[in-house]
C-alpha cells in the first residue's frame, strides 16, 4: 500500500451544544437532526495531525534514495524510525470520517447528503489533480516516475480512476476511492432514514459482512465491504452514536469492541502492504490510543479545546493531504542538496501547508458557493 491519506476528508461539524439537555448531550427528540451544530475543534487538530503524519511518512520513511538522493535513515535516523508509523494517519482519517459522515447524513435526504459530499471533496480535488498533473509534466522528475497523460488526468477528475483501471495522478488518491465506497454504503442508511437502531444494525451487519466477504469468492462484495478498512469507519460511526447519547451504552461498547478486535486482526495485513518490518505491537498501541482519543471526543471531554488555530488546521488538512506528495517530493529531490536536509524538510513542509491554505482560500472558498448555487434547484425539488 502506498499511503497518502485520505484522506480523506470529512466536514468537521459534529454535534455538541445543539443536542444538550440541561448541560448534557443527549439524543434529539424523535431521532431527527437539528440544524448545523458547532464544530468540535479538536477534530480539526486531529485532521492536521493525521495529515502531517502522512506527509512525514512520505518524506522520511522510505528506505530508498527518493526523495533525498540518499536514504532518509542516513540524514534523519531518529525521525526515520518514528515516521515509519506515519501511515497510521490514514486509519485516523477513516475513523474521523466515520464519525462525521454519520453526523452529516443524520436526518438528511439522500440528495442533500451526496451534494454535501460533492461540495466538500471535489473543488479541492479537481485543483489538486490539475496542479499535480502540471507538476508531473513540467516540474522536476523523480527517477522511475511514469508520465502523466492528458487522458489519465481527465479520468482522474472523476475520482473513479481506480475502478476504471487508470493510474492515479498522485498515489495518495487511493484513499478517496475508499471514502467513496464508504459513502455508497452509508447511503443505504440515509435512504432508509437515520436513527440509532438503523445505524447500529448497519454497523453490526457491515462488521459481519466484512468478515465473510473475503471467503465469499465474490470480488464485488470484497470491494464494497472493504474488510481492511471497515473497522475504522465502523468505530467512527459508533463514536458518533456515543456522542448523540452523551454516554457509552452497552451496544455501542459492543460495536466498538468488535471493531477493535477486527482491526487488530487486519493490522498485519495492512502492515504487510507497507513493505517494512514495522512492529505490530507498536501499531496496535497507536491505534488503541486513537480509539481512546476518539472516545474522549465522543464523550465531550475535549470540548474545552478551543484554540484559535484549529479551524485553520481543519481547512488545511485536506488540501495538504492531496498535494504534499506530488509537489513536495519534487522540491526535495531537486533542491535538498543545495539547501541542506533540515532546512529542506522544514521549508518544504511549511511551504506545503501554505500552498494548502492558499488552495482553500483561492479555490475552495469561491468555488464551493458557486457549485452550491448551481445545485440549488435540486434542493428545492427535494424540499
Are the C-beta atoms of 44 and 208 separated by less than 8 Å? no
Which of the residue ranges 60-69, 124-133, 303-312 has the most confident prediction, judged by mean pLDDT? 124-133
Q: Is the pLDDT of residue 125 over 70?
A: yes
Q: What whole-number distance in Å separates Cα of residue 88 and Cα of residue 338? A: 32
Average pLDDT over residues 41-63: 94
Domain assignments of the chain as residue spans, ordered by start: 17-382
Q: What is the pLDDT of residues 184-210, one digit of tens each?
A: 999 999 999 889 999 999 999 999 999
74, 72, 65: which is closest to 143 by C-alpha?
65
Average pLDDT over residues 3-30: 37
CA 371, 374, 378 angle in degrees (round to 5)?
115
Q: What percent of the chain has pLDDT over 90?
A: 75
Q: What whole-number distance in Å separates Cα of residue 133 and Cα of residue 154? A: 10
Dihedral sign from CA coordinates of 67, 73, 79, 85: positive
Are the C-beta atoms of 283 and 227 separated by less than 8 Å? no
Cell numbers for 168: 492515479
Confidence (pLDDT) at 29: 34
Q: Is the pLDDT of residue 157 over 60?
A: yes
Cell numbers for 40: 468540535
| pTM for the predicted model, two decimal places | 0.88
Amino acid at each position: 500500500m502506498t499511503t497518502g491519506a485520505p484522506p480523506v476528508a470529512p466536514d468537521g461539524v459534529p454535534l455538541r451544544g445543539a443536542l444538550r439537555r440541561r448541560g448534557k448531550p443527549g439524543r434529539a427528540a424523535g431521532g431527527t437532526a437539528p440544524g448545523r451544530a458547532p464544530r468540535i475543534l479538536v477534530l480539526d487538530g486531529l485532521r492536521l495531525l493525521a495529515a502531517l503524519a502522512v506527509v512525514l511518512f512520505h518524506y522520511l520513511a522510505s528506505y530508498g534514495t527518493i526523495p533525498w538522493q540518499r536514504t532518509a535513515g542516513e540524514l534523519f535516523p531518529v525521525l526515520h524510525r518514528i515516521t515509519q508509523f506515519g501511515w497510521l494517519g490514514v486509519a485516523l482519517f477513516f475513523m474521523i470520517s466515520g464519525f462525521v459522515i454519520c453526523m452529516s447524513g443524520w436526518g438528511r435526504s439522500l440528495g442533500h447528503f451526496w451534494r454535501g459530499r460533492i461540495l466538500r471533496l471535489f473543488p479541492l480535488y479537481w485543483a489538486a489533480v490539475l496542479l499535480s498533473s502540471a507538476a508531473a509534466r513540467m516540474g522536476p522528475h523523480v527517477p522511475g516516475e511514469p508520465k502523466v497523460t492528458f487522458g489519465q488526468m481527465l479520468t482522474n477528475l472523476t475520482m473513479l480512476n481506480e475502478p476504471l483501471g487508470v493510474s492515479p495522478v498522485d498515489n495518495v488518491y487511493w484513499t478517496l476511492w475508499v471514502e467513496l465506497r464508504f459513502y455508497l454504503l452509508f447511503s443505504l442508511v440515509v435512504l432508509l432514514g437515520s436513527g440509532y437502531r438503523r445505524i447500529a444494525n448497519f454497523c453490526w451487519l457491515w462488521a459481519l459482512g466484512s468478515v465473510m466477504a473475503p471467503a465469499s469468492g465474490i470480488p464485488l462484495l470484497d470491494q464494497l465491504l472493504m474488510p481492511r478498512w471497515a473497522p475504522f469507519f465502523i468505530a467512527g460511526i459508533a463514536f458518533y452514536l456515543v456522542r448523540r447519547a452523551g454516554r457509552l451504552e452497552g451496544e455501542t461498547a459492543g460495536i466498538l469492541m468488535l471493531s477493535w478486535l477486527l482491526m487488530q486482526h487486519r493490522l498485519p495485513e495492512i502492515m504487510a502492504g507497507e513493505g517494512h518490518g514495522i512492529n505490530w505491537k507498536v501499531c496496535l498501541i497507536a491505534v488503541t490510543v486513537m480509539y481512546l482519543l476518539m472516545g474522549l471526543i465522543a464523550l465531550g471531554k475535549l470540548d474545552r479545546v478551543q484554540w484559535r488555530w484549529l479551524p485553520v488546521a481543519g481547512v488545511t488538512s485536506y488540501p495538504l493531504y492531496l498535494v504534499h506528495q506530488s509537489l513536495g517530493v519534487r522540491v526535495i529531490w531537486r533542491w535538498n542538496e543545495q539547501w541542506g536536509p533540515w532546512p529542506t524538510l522544514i521549508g518544504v513542509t511549511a511551504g506545503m501547508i501554505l500552498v494548502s491554505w492558499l488552495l482553500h482560500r483561492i479555490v475552495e472558498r469561491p468555488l464551493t458557493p458557486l457549485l452550491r448555487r448551481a445545485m440549488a434547484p435540486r434542493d428545492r425539488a427535494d424540499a
